[in-house]
Amino acid sequence: MEICLVRHGETDWNKEGRLQGRTNIPLNQAGVDQANECANHLSTTNYDLIITSPLLRAKQTAEIISEKMSVPILEMNHFIERNYGDAEGLTVVERTSKFPNRNYPNQEPRDSLTKRVMEALHFIYQSEKDKRIILVSHGGVINAILAAISNNEIGSGKTKLGNACLSEIKFEKDKWTIQYYNQTSHLSMMR
């Protein structure tokens, strides 16, 4: 099984450096363009299914990819972004000033995030064996997956993922491996 992890395209809050978490923000025009570039790049290979977070920015990205590739979409709540509690909506400067230790009140604990996304990956593997899947989600979710698979060598707290970046994981020999991560060469604004 192979899963291409796609971070959603840019939103105005991404551009402003605001922490989105579960706040439901749509793609901006740059994000729509990025999603189209993802679709064009991914359409050169075959995929069986697109799984998406229920948040609008991920769903819009998934819909653009699906339309180009004619691949069905399945929405899964397990891949919703981490809840950042009292820090949601704040810019980097505001967060640093208000919470210098990065301990945001009411945020979802990192171990809970990792547990829910890895359990969901296990479920996908059990139900969709031998399929090639695109998973459209969020920076926090994708970084949690990368951290869990790499034993924290990359991912949460270590890797800043670009909007509309691609990462690929593969399940073989009874374990997940990372094929590549944070690939942005398909995006014209990154060339």
Catalytic annotation, residues: 8, 81
The count of C-alpha atoms lying within 13 angstroms of the C-alpha of 150, restricted to the half-sphere facing its C-beta, is: 21
> Which residue is associated with the tokens 């977070």?
53
Tally the residues of the chain.
Answer: 191
d(CA 40, CA 44): 7
**Angle between helix 29-42 and 56-69 (nearest 10):** 40
